[in-house]
């Protein structure tokens, strides 16, 4: 017997992940504006794309993390509506969605704030495994139903 679950249960972790993206974006802006004030750019600092990258290198971690939040999370953002429209929402999907978001938050914290690379990689790996299990559960549910 399948328990009927409200779609809201999987929408909330999605909203939380979007919130994380906005927080990282705000951190990026804050660090870049601060860098611009402390180190007024010269014309040559923005003459080419590579020059601009060199100029912002001291504050590049939020930008790197923001790009990263549009890689594996794209698979999460694709899966959530599929789970909802196919009626395959389960407690496992909701639980894994929250775990995925939690580990992405920890990954972003270590990427942007602490700089602890090994721990950051562990959060990345665990979050990716959560996402993989979500996709496998979804695919198996379709295959076996």
Measure the CA–CA gap between 10 and 116, rounded to whole angstroms.
Answer: 30
State the residue range of the domain holding 59: 8-144
- Give tens-digit pLDDT for 6-37: 999 999 999 999 999 999 999 999 999 999 99
Single pTM value for the model:
0.91
Q: Is 32 within a domain?
A: yes
Question: Looking at the 3D structure of the chain, how many domains does it have?
Answer: 1
Q: Is 3 within a domain?
A: no
Alpha carbon 91 to chain centroid distance? 21
Q: Is 2 within a domain?
A: no
Q: How many CB atoms lie within 10 A of CB 42?
A: 10
Q: Is 31 within a domain?
A: yes
Q: Please check the confidence at residue 1 and state whether its pLDDT lies above 70.
A: no
Q: CA angle, corner 137, sides to 77 and 70, nearest 5? A: 20
Give me the pLDDT at residue 107, please. Answer: 98
- Give tens-digit pLDDT for 108-137: 999 999 999 999 999 999 999 999 999 999
Q: Is 72 within a domain?
A: yes
Instruction: Report, as an integer, the average pLDDT of 38-56.
Output: 93
Give me the pLDDT at residue 96, please. Answer: 98
- Give tens-digit pLDDT for 67-109: 999 999 999 999 999 999 999 999 999 999 999 999 999 999 9
The set of residues, in sequence order, having a beta carbon less than 8 Å from that of 76 and lying 6+ positions away, is 14, 17, 97, 100, 131, 134
Q: Is 1 within a domain?
A: no
């Amino acid at each position: 017997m399948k328990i009927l679950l409200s779609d809201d249960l999987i929408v909330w972790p999605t909203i939380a992940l979007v919130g994380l993206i906005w927080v990282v974006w705000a951190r990026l802006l804050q660090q870049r504006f601060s860098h611009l004030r402390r180190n007024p750019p010269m014309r040559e600092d923005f003459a080419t794309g590579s020059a601009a990258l060199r100029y912002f290198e001291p504050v590049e971690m939020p930008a790197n993390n923001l790009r990263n939040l549009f890689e594996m999370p794209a698979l999460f953002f694709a899966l959530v509506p599929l789970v909802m429209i196919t009626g395959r929402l389960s407690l496992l999907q909701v639980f894994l969605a929250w775990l995925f978001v939690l580990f992405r938050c920890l990954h972003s914290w270590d990427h942007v704030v602490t700089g602890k690379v090994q721990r950051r990689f562990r959060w990345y790996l665990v979050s990716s495994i959560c996402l993989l299990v979500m996709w496998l559960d979804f695919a198996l549910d379709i295959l076996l139903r």
